Amino acid sequence: MRTFVSGPKNNSLISRILYVVLIKNFRVMKKMMLFKAAILCVVMMAFGLSLTACGDDETVTEVVANDRQTINMTYSVSLSDNWYKYFNIEVTYTGAGAVQSETLDMDWKMNFSIPAANEPDEYVFSVVAKPKAGVELDPEVESYELPVNISAEVSAVKADGSADDSYGFYKSDNGSKTLSAASMAEYIKEEHSIFSFSEKVEE
């Protein structure tokens, strides 16, 4: 749309000068308005691009519902009375945060759970029979039964409560030996490893 400004109706010098000044000022103001409008358009376009870029860079974190959540450990020792009568039974196992040891005088079972975030670097479980001092064999007994039933199990549970079949292990020893009185007399003089294993956690 074009804009017009009417010219002076008299031919005086002052009128002509005013007319020229007015035309020049009007043109300058028109150029400034156009310049400001152009700058405003550029700013708005840049702001719109910035918003679009921010939207494109938004990171969406995927939550996996079945991440491993809990690790369960179970250790069990069941021995005959002859073991407890002639030996101190020491167990060493990976516990909640550290390797622990106990001395047993009867059958024993330990269950506990830890967060998967506290997973140990290695699982260990050992059962050692150490001779008791001052204990003698019964002269009326001709043979001695020494059965063992020992196990260690580690398993994991996912966040949804289902079992994590890709994690864990089960180790056990179920057996028995029979010793004559003469063999038993020598056997109780020495230390014996009844059960031992270690399992390192793969990265």
**Is residue 107 situated within a structural domain?**
yes
Domain of 46? Answer: 7-60
**61-91 pLDDT, tens digit each:** 333 445 899 999 999 999 999 999 999 999 9
**168-193 pLDDT, tens digit each:** 999 999 999 999 999 999 999 999 99
Shared domain for 46 and 98, answered yes or no, is no
The CA distance from 91 to 75, in Å, is: 10
Residue type, 110: M
Q: Is the pLDDT of residue 53 over 90?
A: no
The structural domain count of the chain equals: 2
